[in-house]
Amino acid sequence: MATSPILRSDPPTLRRSRTRSEQTSLTLFPTAARHGNCESANGASAPPPVPDRSEKPAPELVGIARLAASSLRADAKRGTEYFLLPVRSILNYCDSDRVPFRWTVNPYRGCEFGCKYCYARYTHEYMELDGSEFEKKIYVKKDAGPLAARDLASEDIFGEHIAIGTATDPYQPAEREYGATRTILEKIAEREGLSLSITTKSNLVLRDVDLIKRIASRSAITINMTVTTVRTRLARLLEPRAPRPDLRLAAVQKLREAGIAVGVNAMPVLPGLTDDEKDLDALVRAARNSGAQWLAANVLFLMPSSFKQFLPFIEQKYPKLAARYHAWYARNAYAPESYRKEIAALVDSLRRKYGLSSRPQAPLAQSWQSPQLELAWKTGEQRCPA
């Protein structure tokens, strides 16, 4: 298969400058976790049910909803349906100043882990699906490899960070069968000078350790392992199909032993469930013991579609907390600022106690050369650098 020209990172002068608002959150990408993941509404599920002809015709589907409706069902198991989703690109451009990166990659739409609190449920609404179907209808992006190769050849990505797994887990169960994430990483490994991060809750990332090491030899790459609690029973309630916390922490240790930069995302911090000082202390200590280099944290953020799913869970399993959650989140996606500052201070003290940073160190700039300019040199054409 033909490959695109090798990309190299640009010097600092070529990086796109932009003003960022002050960050007060603890997460690695603070505003990203609070404000969304930039997964395009236009970039599905089974075809919608046949409408009742006696009623007013449903509006014509457009964008991602139309693509979803045309997706072929590939399989069904464990109460989950899998569809092959035709998409126009793999790298998704994020045009919001609320996040500190411009490019995201989500090989799948929907996530089978079924985390009760997942803020990304709203992305299924782009496909005219209810957020409750987020873990029941999983969409595998078709032609991930060729599309990734084409997207990575674009000059637009030079000097920009690519965040993999901002909305759905790239190592969810579907990855074992469809391999979309690995296909994308194989294309990334063909290039150099990129800046990448992978966020996951799965020890399946260890399958790709050799590939990640190859990427790390040519580009800057970090792994963020999300662990909300070290209590296995609580994790099973909150994240029904995600690997156990001890398996994730063991993966952190193995990644570090392989020389890969890795940290832990202790997020979200769930009020009344995972915010006790002893629980957070145990989590930060476990992260340190596993070899994590940094720990990021952020208080629960609930979009309306997520609140609609999460509140009934709280009412059923933790009824004493229901009034608190309703008061805090029914009309606001954020917990009160005073509570967020309290958790921020606690986590910061625990990081200092266990010698962890809040985020990975910025990688040193590497040499960069435009593939377009390289092509011009090869053909003898003279061009001035932009």
Q: For the segment 93-108, what is each residue's pLDDT rounded down to a tens digit?
A: 877 666 677 899 999 9
Supply the range of the domain harboring residue 200: 25-46+63-362
What pLDDT does 225 receive? 98
Q: What pTM does this model have?
A: 0.79
| Cα(277)–Cα(281) distance, integer angstroms | 6
**Residue listed under structure tokens 């709203």:** 122
Instruction: Give residue-wise pLDDT tens across range 120-135.
Output: 998 878 777 888 899 9
**Within a domain: 259:** yes
At 50, list the tokens: 């046949």
Nearest by Cα to 94 from 44, 160, 159: 160
**Within a domain: 380:** no
**Within a domain: 15:** no
Instruction: Give residue-wise pLDDT tens across range 10-22.
Output: 333 333 344 333 3
Confidence category of residue 329, pLDDT binned at 50, 70, 90:
very high
| Cα(42)–Cα(87) distance, integer angstroms | 9
Angle at 64 between CA 152 and CA 95, to 5 degrees: 50
Instruction: Give residue-wise pLDDT tens across range 174-184.
Output: 999 999 999 99
**Within a domain: 309:** yes
| Cα(290)–Cα(255) distance, integer angstroms | 10
**Mean pLDDT of the chain, nearest integer:** 81
Angle at 174 between CA 104 and CA 221, to 5 degrees: 35
**Within a domain: 291:** yes
Largest CA distance in the chain: 74
Across 66-70, 295-299, 369-373, least confident range? 369-373
Across 63-77, 78-92, 346-360, least confident range? 63-77
**Within a domain: 20:** no
Q: Are 238 and 228 in contact (CB under 8 A)?
A: yes
**Within a domain: 376:** no
Instruction: Give residue-wise pLDDT tens across range 225-269.
Output: 999 999 999 999 999 999 999 999 999 999 999 999 999 999 999
**Within a domain: 348:** yes
Q: How long a stretch of residues is the chain?
A: 386
Domain count, the chain: 1
CATH number of the domain bearing residue 335: 3.20.20.70
Q: Three-state SS across the chain?
A: CCCCCCCCCCCHHHCCCCCCCCCCCECCCHHHHHHCCCCCCCCCCCCCCCCCCCCCCCCCCCHHHHHHHCCEEEEEECCEEEEEECCCCCEEECCCCCCCCCEEECCEECCCCCCCCCHHHHHHHCCCCCHHHCCCEEEEECCHHHHHHHHHCCHHHCCCEEEECCCCCCCCCHHHHHCHHHHHHHHHCCCCCCEEEEEECCHHHHHHHHHHHHHHCCCEEEEEEECCCCCHHHHHHHCCCCCCHHHHHHHHHHHHHCCCEEEEEEEEECCCCCCCHHHHHHHHHHHHHCCCCEEEEEECCCCHHHHHHHHHHHHHHCHHHHHHHHHHHCCCCCCCHHHHHHHHHHHHHHHHHHCCECCCCCCCCCCCCCHHHHHHHHHCCCCCCC
